[in-house]
Amino acid sequence: MDTVPQTPTHPSELTSPDLTVAPVPFPPHAPPPPPPQSGSPSPSVTVPPLFVDNLAREFGLGDRDRLKLRGLLHVCGGAGLSAGLLLGLLYLLAAILSEAADRRRAAQDNQFGGDLLAMVRDLQIRLDDSFSLTANQKANIRGEVQNAIHEPTRMKFSTMHADVLVRLKEKQDKLDLDNVFGVPVRENKMGSALKRACSSVRNAFRQDIRDSIDPASFVDLEKFTYALARKYKLGGVAGESSDLYSIHAALLRRFAFDHPEPLWTDETEEPESSNPPTKKRKTTAKQGGRVAAGEDFWGKVDVYFKEQIELRGRNFKDTRWKPYIDRILADDKNRFEGITSGAPVCILVLDDSTTQMEPASSFGGVPQSGAPDFSSFQFGSGGPGSWGSSFNSMGAQ
């Protein structure tokens, strides 16, 4: 018997349920709300005055700006604005007022600061005009100058201030000169003080050389080298001394012995006062006094070393220097050997056959054999190789 399939009474698991929801009719007893009518007043929002005061304090506003916030609250409080909108307007106005207050304060500070900076700048200019080096700064500068002139490799003396200036700049912190460099007016004043110190030290060094070969006060080369180190070298005689110092001193002594006239004349020193220098009286070697630049002792020493550098190089250890230096050292030793201070001094020049050197006359002396003849070559007697006839007359002035 055939079976007719029957429709299931419950939904199959494979079929989706009908999720359509029929609209619910509006209850007849609840009519829809009427649309809002224009011009009808909304309920007012109350913002406590304490909120306005705290907002003003948060933005750093003064009483004047705080009253402006209260004015906004008074005007907009009854306009039917929502609480969020009203608070937003108050916050925006507080931010605007704070920015305006900051700008006013900045303008006032700039005006005051500009006046203060101008006052400080004017004061600095006046201080720079009256600036002067301290005693400690001058002593430090002179110490560097003395050390520079005593260097065993020093072959240029007239312009040594340029070398010293470089060292002063490198050591400005240690020498208490850091308030000088970087200020042009002060650098110029320090430059003038440096040149004066160089002239003073050169004059003192020249006098020490002169006194070391003066018959009344001469000393041997070893003592002279020690005295120079003690007086001019930074640190004094501490530590081991190079033989270059003795060579340098011997060369200067020999040049001085061969060129006695400039030993008695000072080089021109730059005046310390800022006033223009007065017209100077011309002087001659016989009158003493100052001479033109280049004609003084150190100007001639510069020329001497320049010529020797062209012949032998800059290194005293060069083989070209050896016979020249050996002869000068031997001559310096023999010149005063066995002679007491105050006695006549003879110029003793070694025999040219022992070394390949220039003729003896180029040293200011003459070849001799045997013991020196003091009667013929007395100090200042005017004979060959002596100081010359004008030495004693200049020294007496």
Position 359 in a domain: yes
Position 301 in a domain: yes
Position 12 in a domain: no
Mean pLDDT of 231-250: 86
63-83 b/e (C-beta count within 10 Å ≥ 16 → b) = eebbebbbebbeebeeeebee
**363 and 262 in one domain?**
yes
In the chain, the number of structural domains is 2
- pTM here is 0.58
Distant-in-sequence, close-in-space partners of 203: CB < 8 Å, separation ≥ 6? 266, 267, 269
**241 and 147 in one domain?**
yes
What is the C-alpha to C-alpha distance for residues 170 and 182, in angstroms, rounded to an integer?
A: 13
The dihedral built from the CA positions of residue 157, 150, 202 and 273, taken in this order, carries a sign that is positive
Residue range(s) defining the domain that contains residue 123: 49-129
**249 and 314 in one domain?**
yes
Q: Report whether 368 contacts 385 (CB < 8 A).
A: no
Structure confidence by residue, pLDDT tens digits, 294-351: 678 999 999 999 999 999 999 999 999 999 999 999 998 887 666 555 554 443 333 3
Could you tell me the pLDDT band of residue 74, with boundaries at 50, 70 and 90? confident
**236 and 297 in one domain?**
yes
Q: Report whether 380 contacts 386 (CB < 8 A).
A: yes
Last residue of a domain, one of 129, 153, 184: 129
**125 and 145 in one domain?**
no
Structure confidence by residue, pLDDT tens digits, 193-236: 999 999 999 999 999 999 999 888 889 999 999 999 999 999 88
**162 and 60 in one domain?**
no
267 — phi, psi (to 5°)? -75, 160
Question: With 90 as the cut, is the pLDDT of residue 248 above it?
Answer: yes
Helix (H, G, I), strand (E, B) or coil at 267: strand
| pLDDT value of position 271 | 66
Instruction: Name the region of 276 (left: φ>0; alpha: ψ -120 to 50; beta: rest).
Output: beta
Using alpha carbons, select from 326, 334, 344 the residue that is nearest to residue 381: 344
Position 177 in a domain: yes
What is the C-alpha to C-alpha distance for residues 347 and 365, in angstroms, rounded to an integer?
A: 6
Angle, helix 49-58 to helix 63-77, in steps of 10 degrees: 140
Last residue of a domain, one of 129, 153, 173: 129
**353 and 377 in one domain?**
yes
Q: What is the mean pLDDT of the chain?
A: 74
Position 273 in a domain: no
The secondary structure of residue 41, as a DSSP letter, is: P
393 — phi, psi (to 5°)? -70, -35
**199 and 347 in one domain?**
yes
Helix (H, G, I), strand (E, B) or coil at 386: coil
Could you tell me the pLDDT band of residue 71, with boundaries at 50, 70 and 90? confident
Position 277 in a domain: no
Give the number of other CB atoms < 10 A from CB of residue 168: 22
Question: With 50 as the cut, is the pLDDT of residue 377 above it?
Answer: no
Last residue of a domain, one of 98, 129, 160: 129
**339 and 201 in one domain?**
yes
The identity of residue 222, as a single letter, is: E
Find which of 40-44, 159-163, 218-222 is predicted with most confidence, using mean pLDDT. 159-163
